[in-house]
Amino acid sequence: MISSAGPLVSQTRDLSGTWVGETTIPNTLDKDQVTLVLKKDAGSYSGTVSDSMEMAKDSPLEDVKFENDTLTAQFMIFKGSENVRIWMTLKVTGEKLTGNWQDGGDEAGLLDMVRKSPGSS
């Protein structure tokens, strides 16, 4: 019997929980605190994104995929007077998610997150 543990590790890893981190908003250098809440059900993920600047208020994740230790998803934010789609790609390393986000234009930023321990504020 031939087996490979590689794909099984990603498939069995559970990213459910609350992840918190920070990004910098381009052109302003303002820091924005980001909260990602992930839920796993029947092998697929769903969740929401919120941020301290209130551009995303429990914005639902769309097209969530977790493959090869990489989480990808899309969500909408309200920026100024319009809704803007954001794409994010985060690599899982232990209890950290590290990667980036970008909009459909020229704005992008780094995003580093850690899993929030149950009971911590």
Q: What does the domain layout of the chain look like in residue ranges?
A: 10-115
Long-range contacts of 97-103 (CB under 8 A, 24+ apart): 97/15, 97/19, 97/21, 97/36, 97/71, 99/70, 99/71, 101/23
Q: Which two tokens stand for residue 39?
A: 């839920």
The model's confidence at residue 120, banded by pLDDT at 50, 70 and 90, is: low
Structure confidence by residue, pLDDT tens digits, 62-113: 999 999 999 999 999 998 889 999 999 999 998 999 999 999 888 899 999 9
Which of 8-17, 60-69, 112-121 is the least confident region? 8-17
pTM comes to 0.83
Q: Would the pLDDT of 7 be above 50?
A: no
DSSP labels for the chain? ----HHHHHHHH----EEEEEEEE-TTT--EEEEEEEEEEETTEEEEEEEETTSSSSSEEPEEEEEETTEEEEEEEEEETTEEEEEEEEEEEETTEEEEEEEESSS-EEEEEEEEPPTT--
Topology annotation, domain 10-115: Lipocalin (2.40.128)
> Tokens 């020229």 label which residue?
106
